[in-house]
């Protein structure tokens, strides 16, 4: 995740995330980017779980899926997609064009920050 980009493009969403992390996860930092980079590198599974929880609390729901080619004997999980929904309905849908789950999640989180930023205006 590019935390610097998120902070610059989505400052209101970033502040909400900072509040979530401080109160819910008990993490306080001085250098925001470095702690998030370490958190991202060492605890990437936990980070993504926490981001799902963060967006759930904001009323933004991310769902991932993958395309299975039933015409072959081997299932390939190299075509991932996501949907993002809010109380107002479906807000974003991606194609099955992401090579990995992590790639699809990162793109979904960026779109979710965009949606959150609009909601906070």
Prediction pTM value: 0.76
Phi, psi of 75 (to 5 degrees): -80, 130
Over the stretch 108-119, which tens digit does the pLDDT of each residue have?
Answer: 999 999 999 999
- The residue among 106, 22, 26 whose CA lies nearest residue 64 is 106
Q: What is the pLDDT of residue 118?
A: 93
At residue 58, does pLDDT exceed 80? yes
Q: What is the pLDDT of residue 70?
A: 54
Q: What percentage of residues in the chain have a pLDDT greater than 70?
A: 65
């Amino acid at each position: 995740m590019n935390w610097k980009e998120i902070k610059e493009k989505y400052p209101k969403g970033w502040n909400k995330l900072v509040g979530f992390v401080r109160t819910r996860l008990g993490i306080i930092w001085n250098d925001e980017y470095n702690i998030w980079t370490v958190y991202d590198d060492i605890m990437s599974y936990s980070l993504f779980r926490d981001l799902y929880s963060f967006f759930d609390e904001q009323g933004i729901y991310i769902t991932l899926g993958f395309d299975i080619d039933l015409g072959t004997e081997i299932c390939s999980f190299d075509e991932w997609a996501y949907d993002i929904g809010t109380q107002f309905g479906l807000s974003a849908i991606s194609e099955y064009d992401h090579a990995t789950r992590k790639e699809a999640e990162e793109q979904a989180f960026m779109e979710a920050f965009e949606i959150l930023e609009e909601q906070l205006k």
